[in-house]
Every structure is written in structure tokens, then in C-alpha cells.
Amino acid sequence: MAALKHRRTALERVEKFLSETYFTDCNLRGRLFGDRCPPASLSCFQTPRRIPYDEAVRQEFRPAKVGDSFGPTWETCWFKVELSIPPAWAGREVHFVWESDGEGMVWRDAQPVQGLTKEGEKTSYILTSSLKETEPHSLTLYVELACNGLFGAGKGSMIAPPDPDRRFTLSKAELVIFNRDVYELLVDLEILLGMAQLLGEENQRSFQALYTANQVVNMCDVTDPSTFPAARDLAAVIFSQRNGGSQHTIHAVGHCHIDSAWLWPYEETIRKCARSWVTVVRLMECNPELTFACSQAQQFEWVRSWYPGLYAQIQDFVAKGRFIPVGGTWVEMDGNLPSGESMVRQFLQGQRFFQEQFGRICSEFWLPDTFGYSAQLPQLMRGCGIRRFLTQKLSWNLVNTFPHHTFFWEGIDGSQVLTHFPPGDSYEMHGRVEEMLKTVKNNKDKGRVNHSAVLFGFGDGGGGPTQKMLDRMKRMSDTDGLPRVQISTPDRLFSVLEKESSQLCTWVGELFLELHNGTYTTQAQIKKGNRECERILHDVEVLSTLALARGGTFQYPARQLQRLWRLLLLNQFHDVLPGSCIQLVVEDALQYYAEIRGAGAQLQEEAVQALCGDLLQPKAGSAESTLVLNTLPWERTEVISRTGPAGTETLALVTVPSMGYAIVREPLLPPQPVAVRKQEDGSIAMENGVIAVCLDTMGRLTSLRLVHSERESVPDGCYANQFALFDDVPLYWDAWDVMDYHLETRKPVTTLLKPLEITLAGGLRGSASFSLRIGKSSTLTQEIILDATCPYLRFLTQVEWKEAHKFLKVEFPVQVRSTNATYEIQFGHLQRPTHWNTSWDWARFEVWAHKWLDLSEHGFGVALLNDCKYGASAHRNVLSLSLLRAPKSPDATADIGHHQFTYAVMPHRGSFQDAGVIQCAYNLNFPLHAVPAGSAQCPAWSAFSVSSPAVVLETVKQAEDRAEAVVVRLYEAHGSTVVAWLQTSLPVKEAMLCDLLERPAARGCLPLEQRGLRLSFTPFRVLSVLLVLKQ
């Protein structure tokens, strides 16, 4: 009988029929499970350690029961579960159901078989799809339960610091009969209901779906499964009505974003990978169409080491093209802060790992969750065999909506990569109707491309895809009114996008995330560890390569260096280097930096010994001298501190050739010594013939002049080196965000503890020191240092930091007018506006830079250099460096304690390029190495030099696959087209260009000429050269 329908009541009727909460005594959901049966026996043992299976099963287990709770946080409980399936269940599908608020792993026959996480909608392990008499009815499983949830154990909110005393309850452990026919009908109805609700009242498909769903409810007698097939046939009619030829196609790819550390420590991530990936393997066994994209070589390496049986299964599915390595990097690193060379090594270590383990490199760069993307990334991707890029994080922009989902992204050198942001703005879809409709509706490139990605699976803390997600999408494969949904691969998606790409737009420059810009400053010790360890590994590689090339018995420490690089790369993960992780992770990260420092110092000593050993042996009767080594590619004249025979520190002015060394016996006399004078008003003046400064009693610059041009840098009535404290209370993401409104809370720091006093009276070095009180209980002590011949003034700063939700910056107002400031990035620089004309300009109120930033007008400018800071800004004529933050989540102790850092100010004539700002910033970050030596006579030696100041020789290392070859990496730093000659005193027999993976370029042979190697650069081009040495 035809009946009038009221849309709302019909919709709600179907909802209640599926509800987990209402009417479960008589609705369909209440029939999902049949009979239940408790385990025959349940026992457990608890340990604070994460231990292997073999060790766990040998322990003494004590009885346990459902309802018991375990803990505290980060402990592990192992359960022994003995099961006996009732014979009456013959022919039925039997599941072992386990529900707990901790993360579980089922072990069977000594192998991991299934991850169990209630938050990831995985609460059952399928024992049999149809119980046969021949199958074993009694079996023993082990469940390894981590006392932490999918997102750690935040106290009160997800990102709050972990609650150290949380208990985790076992709420279910039982055998159940699973009614597959009920499940299938539930999924049918869920999709019909989604279509009815979301296609809208103006769409007839909405009503067709609603009326069909209503009819299904009418036909179903939940107590009589024989009524289900006819009801399912009704639904199938809707699902089999096909789309027209123009419908959008969605490429669905299984995915499980696992943060390598975040609200849980690195060690727990190893288990998260295993729990998530073993679940994927189980799903692949039952769903031959399932594909799964998986990034981060480090996580594969962890599973290879800890779970070899699981890893072998994964290798098998990789070979079949279903478990798909993507990304090509060691971890999903931060996209802003790692150096250019670090980013190269992310790809080098990642791509080599994938090649060695799976016989192929990745063709897509995969970075869905990182806080912005450097404008140098396109060139680095192209150099590592990658032309495609996937992310979605710019959908988090706070101010401006990014205008594209599929486009070409062009870097600062002109390299382009095809880029896709899944238009559903997520990397953890669940295969629901609303997500598919959003993907189509939200797509900013309609009419240009007709294909897009949906990444499905629980993520961040692991979890991955579920059977239900797959079953939802099967019903949407080609259903009229919905986009076509096909299980696909990243390669298939990008191949189609490449074919459709003729109409795509191009975005030039950085992909700046308008959020999370506190991550350039949070956890200053991690930032400092990163910069220092990048320097250490650079220096060890340079010195080891020179030692190797000099012949002899020296063995290049390739294995140790790989281990240290991998630790550094791991710490560049996008919740560690940005500082958005819990205290446990910070402790691990700082421990890794300590390892790199310790091992690096040892390796450096061995390299210097091999390179210069004969010079270090004191000759009988010879006066002590100093061996000074320079790891940078230009000659340097600087003041160094050296230890004299009596162990006293003395200063010396030395000149050292590029990438080489000199023996210093009699130090040079400066062309003009540093003069330091105290004025009557307590201010101090310093001058070195290059720059002249005047400081007030609070250490502020009232004047900063270039001596020869008399050009003043500090505007009248202004103070440079002015500290300012800001309130720093974001809306939610504490460690991540600094909000625009913090700028309205500026308070200059003016409480003097110790006025400025002269600490070094001049000669080779002059300096003055002072102390300030900051906020309620913090102190800052600074030594302001001017060296002979040096074009910049250094500020050696110590802070005892005890603030909460405060942000410390130092400001330099300068007498320069320009609408753009320049910031160093990886292998180059870019400009950002100093005004707030548009929302795009204003949204960049806090930005990042590497070793320097500069504000220049024609003929003059001022640069700020630093040795470990990344946050910065330039608004109108004020340059600011961000020094310290004090967030309380997810690490309540973030940044509290002692800090030491150096920054410098450098006024200059002409452009920053011609004035040598780039070289000065390197010099500040890569100090000369002074070693006591014996022999007084030895000519200075240089291994490499470059003819053009526009070209920086960044890296010198042994080639990965050829022990007799060296790789050198250079880049054009000025933004110019230039020919440069690379000279070397190493015994080179042939030279060729290679890519960043060290694969020789086609027609890349370079002739060895009298002047060296002729290299052609366009702006910001990175070139790698393979030098084969004579044996």
C-alpha cells in the first residue's frame, strides 16, 4: 500500500533501526552478534618494559578477569587467553572480541596476527568464517596490551601532558557468533541513509535512497534472517544504477599515518607500526583489491628489526604492488627547519632503503601532516627521482583558503612537481558518503581535473583501514548520484592527473601554513641540537673525506656516519624538531643529539689525526704552535681562542685557506685593534675599523655605524637589541601556535640586574656584559662581542627561563626602507613582505628562516645572523628574532631551564650578496677548529675552493656506492646565473655530474681543466659532482 512519507520521520526511522544506543532489543544493530562465550581461562602479567614475545610467554601469569584495570601509563600487560569454542557453533562465523582503552596486539603461534584498538574500531579477531568440525575448537592466544591509547594518555584533553597514573580497563574478552548477513544489511542501510540525508531535498536520488531504505526496514523481520536476502536485493537495485560518463572518479587508497613520535615515545611507535600493519595484512588476505600506501623508511626498518615474520609478509605484498612504499624519505620530516643537506639525506637514506629492500624507489613525495613546505623542496624532489607530491595540511590554514587541490608547484630554482591535496582535506577518511561528496564538492580544480584521492584509515596514532571502510566503498564503486569510487594506487591517480594536467595552474614559492608558527621556536634545545648536529656531521664528513683522499690507511667511517645521520633524520620528524611532542620524546631526542655529539667528536678527532697526524707530533725543541682547520669553502681571517702551553686561553688572529688548514705560530696583527671606551653616562663604545657601536647601560644599541661610510643603522630615538616579552596564549594548539593577537601584548624588557660593564678591553677582541630580569622570575645575561676585522657584532646570550605562556623576542629597528625582507632557506633564500597589505601578507606575521635574515634598500642593509634560532619576522623596519616560548601542552616543562645561544647584527654596504652576509652566517655557525700542534713549519693546504662567491660548496662526502669516489654538492646562493670553477688539490682522475641519489647524469662527464671543473649554475640550482680519485 502506498503511504505518505514525512521525510524527517522516515529518515529517523532508518537511523533508529541502525542505532547502537536506541531500541537495540528490537532493531537490526542488536542482532549483529549471536551467542557469546567467555574465555576458558584468562591470566596476565605486567611489566614496565616493552619486551619481545619469547620473553613474555616465559613469565609467571596470574589470574585476571574482565573489569580489571591495569597501569599505570606506559606499562605493558601480557594476557594469556585460553579459548574453547562450543561445538554447537558449527558452521558459524566466530570472532574473539576484545575491548579495552589500551592498545592491543593478538599473538598466535608466536606471531602477531591482529591489532586491537577500540578507538580504531578494531575490537575483534576473526577465528573462523565458518566453523568446521576439523578446525581446532580449543586454542591459546596472547594479547599484548599497551597502557596507552591511540593518542597516548593526555590528562583531560588529547594534547595535555600524559597522565602518569592512568589505569586501563579490560571491558570485554569473549567469543561471539558474528552474523555476517546482519552486518552486510547494516552497511547497505548506512549508505542508503547517507545518500538520503546528504544528497539534499532537491535531488531525486535522495528520495529514491530514502524510500528504498524505508522499504528495507518494512521487509526486515530481525528475528527471521530469511527475510534479509530480499531486503538486500532492494538496496542492490539502487547501488547498481550507474553514473554517467562525466562523473568524478575518486581514487581510494588505504593509509595509516603514524607519527614516529608525538604523544607517545619512539619505542611505542614501533609497536603501533606492527599493530597497524599486521591488521592491513589480514585485510589484504580477505580483500584482494585493497591497496595501502605507507611512508617512512624508518618505520619499515623498525618492523624489519623487531617483527621479521610480519616484515616478510609485507615484502610479499609490496612485490604484488598492494603494500606501496611512498614518500621516499627516512621519516615524514618537518618541511621548514631541516637544512638543505638534511633534506637531501632524508631522501638519500629513504630512497636507498626502499631500493635495497623492495627493488624500487618511490615516485611520490608524501608529507600529509607537516607544518608548511619549503620552496626548495621541488628541486630536491626532482633530484631524488620524484615528480609528484601529496599533502593536505594547507587545509588547516587559519586565514586564507588555499586556491587549489591539484596544481604544479614551482620552487625557487624553477623546478616543478605535480601536486595533489586530497579535496576531502584529510588523510584519514572512513569511506563514508559524506566524505565522498565533500571530496567532489570541495575540489577547487573542477573542470581542470576529474580525479582525486581519498586516503582511508585511522591515523596519527595508527590504526589504519577497517573492513567496514572497504565495504562502504564497494557499494559506491559506481552508484548514480555519488562519485565513482575505485580502490586505486598513488601511481594510478598521478598518472591520470598527468594526462589531465594541461589546464592546471602553477603556484610559485613556499607553501606556507598559516598556523603552527610557534613550532619555529618551541623546545629551543631540540632546535639547537639539530643545528649543532647538522654542523658536526658536515665537519666530520669534510675532514674524513680529506683524510681518505690523502691516502694512507684511514677508513672512511661510512657505517658510523649512516647511524648518526639516521638519528638526526629521525629527530627531524614533524612533531619532534617542531617541539610539539611530550616530555618523554624530548628526553629521547636530546639523548640522540648527545650521542651524535659524542660519536661525532670522536670521529672528527680520528679524521684530523689521519689528515694531519705528523703535524700534531711535537718535535723535540720546537715551540708549540696551533693547527687551525677550516671546513668552509672560502678563506677565513678570524680571531680564535687557543690553548697555550700552560693551559691558558689566548686569542690569535689567523688566516686559514678554504676547506683546508694552516699552522699558526706567530698570530697576525690586526690592521686596526678593537677599541673599547666607557663614556661618562655609563654607555660603552666599541670600534674595529669596520663597524662602530654605541651601547647604553641596558645593552641596547643606540648607534651601529659602518666606519668608512658613516652610515647609521639605528633610527634616531630607537634601540636595537631590545628584548620584548609577549603574552602567548593560543586558542588550542599550545606548543604549536602563536596567534596574531600576541603582538598586541608587547612589553619591552627594561628591568636591569647588572648594568653594562666592559669585560674585554680590546685589542683582538672587545666585549661588554650586562644582566636583565625577564618577566617574573627569569634572567638574561649577555656578552656583546666585537672581534678585530669582523664585520658583525655578536651577542652571546644566556637565559635562565622560568616563564609560563610567554614569548621572548629580540628586536632590531633599522634605518632601512624596503617592502620585502630576505630570509635564508635550504640552499637559497626568498623574500617575504614587510607590510600587511593583504590577508596573505598579514598571515605571515611570524615566519621561519635559517642562518640569516636581511633588510636592504639600494646600497645598504642590515642582516641578523644566528646559530640555532628559526622563528623570525620583519615588519616595516623592525627585524625580530624569536628566542623562547613557554607552552604547557603537550610538555608541561617545555623550555624551562638554561639556554645559551648567539646571534649577530651585520650592517653592510651594497647588497647582502656582495657584502658576504651568506658567508658570515656560515662562519658564525661553523667555527674554525684549533688543535695544538708541534711542527712550526708547514705550508697552508686547501682541498677545495670555488671561483665565484655566488656558489657555496655545501657538502663533501664519500660516495655511497664507490669507496674510491667523493661526492661534492654545491649550490648557487645569490639568485644569479653564473659559471664557477671548482678547484681541488685532491688526486681526481674523472668527474661527472650526478643527481642527489648519486646516480651519474646522462652526458654528465666533466673535463678536468687547468682551472678545475667548469660548472654552470642558474639561480639557486643545486649541483652534485662525483669525483673519482686516483688509487
Query: pLDDT-derived band of residue 552, with 50, 70 and 90 as boundaries?
Result: confident
Q: What is the pLDDT of residue 665?
A: 85
User: 61: exposed, middle or buried (C-beta count within 10 Å: 0-12, 13-18, 19+)?
Assistant: middle
d(CA 218, CA 780): 76
pLDDT value at 287 more than 90: yes
Out of 50-64, 234-248, 657-671, which region has the weakest mean confidence (pLDDT)? 657-671
With beta carbons less than 8 A apart as the criterion, state whether 565 and 587 touch.
Answer: no
Per DSSP, helices labelled H in 371-432 are 377-383
Phi/psi for 954 (5° steps) reads -85, -40
Phi/psi for 649 (5° steps) reads -85, 125
pLDDT value at 936 more than 90: no
Q: What is the pLDDT of residue 668?
A: 85
Q: What is the pLDDT of residue 628?
A: 96
Q: Position 329: which residue type? A: T
DSSP 3-state of 696: coil
Q: What is the pLDDT of residue 463?
A: 96
pLDDT value at 4 more than 80: no
Q: What is the mean pLDDT of the chain?
A: 97
Percentages of the chain per state (helix, strand, coil), in multiples of 5: 25, 35, 40
Q: Position 473: which residue type? A: M
In order, the DSSP letters of 717-774 are T--BSEEEEEE---SS-TTT---GGGGGG-EE--EEEEEEEEEEEEETEEEEEEEEEE
Q: What is the pLDDT of residue 3?
A: 67
Residue 445 appears among annotated catalytic residues: no
Q: What is the pLDDT of residue 955?
A: 98
pLDDT value at 620 more than 60: no
d(CA 445, CA 683): 61
With beta carbons less than 8 A apart as the criterion, state whether 839 and 503 touch.
Answer: no
Cell (9 digits) for 1000: 651519474
Cell (9 digits) for 382: 626532482
Phi/psi for 40 (5° steps) reads -65, -30
Task: Give per-residue pLDDT as tens, 87-133.
Answer: 999 999 999 999 999 999 999 999 999 999 999 999 999 999 999 99
Q: Position 747: which residue type? A: K
Phi/psi for 958 (5° steps) reads -70, 145
For the segment 158-172, the average pLDDT, to the nearest whole number, is 97
d(CA 531, CA 976): 27
Q: Give residue 269's Cα distance to chain centre.
A: 15
Task: Give per-residue pLDDT as tens, 307-340.
Answer: 999 999 999 999 999 999 999 999 999 999 999 9
d(CA 899, CA 912): 30
Q: What is the pLDDT of residue 624?
A: 77
With beta carbons less than 8 A apart as the criterion, state whether 917 and 850 touch.
Answer: no
For the segment 851-875, the average pLDDT, to the nearest whole number, is 98
Tell me which residue of 79, 245, 94, 114 sits closest to 177, measured CA to CA.
94
Whole-number Cα distances in Å, 236 to 188, 561, 945:
8, 60, 73
Tell me the β-bridge partners of 487.
252
pLDDT value at 152 more than 70: yes
Cell (9 digits) for 191: 549508505
Tell me which residue of 924, 910, 915 sits closest to 636, measured CA to CA.
924
Non-local CB neighbours of 664 within 8 Å, separated by 6+ positions = 625, 626, 627, 628, 642, 652, 654
Please state whether the peptide bond connecting residue 890 to the residue before it is cis, i.e. omega within 30 degrees of 0. Answer: yes
Cell 657584502: give the residue: 915
Non-local CB neighbours of 728 within 8 Å, separated by 6+ positions = 518, 738, 742, 805, 806, 807, 885, 886, 887
The residue annotated as part of the active site, out of 101, 188, 334, 369, is 369
Task: Give per-residue pLDDT as tens, 83-98.
Answer: 999 999 999 999 999 9
Q: What is the pLDDT of residue 194?
A: 98
For the segment 904-932, the average pLDDT, to the nearest whole number, is 97
Total residue length of the chain: 1031
- Give percent of the chain with pLDDT exceeding 90: 96
pLDDT value at 688 more than 70: yes
What's the pTM?
0.98
d(CA 820, CA 818): 5
pLDDT value at 619 more than 80: no
Q: What is the 3-state secondary structure (H, E, C) of 571-616?
A: HCECCCCCCCCCHHHHHHHHHHHHHHHHHHHHHHHHHHHHHHHHHH
Q: What is the pLDDT of residue 71?
A: 96
Task: Give per-residue pLDDT as tens, 435-486.
Answer: 999 999 999 999 999 999 999 999 999 999 999 999 999 999 999 999 999 9
pLDDT value at 1 more than 60: no
Task: Give per-residue pLDDT as tens, 584-603.
Answer: 999 999 999 999 999 999 99
d(CA 921, CA 378): 25
pLDDT value at 621 more than 60: no
DSSP 3-state of 142: strand
Query: pLDDT-derived band of residue 643, with 50, 70 and 90 as boundaries?
Result: confident
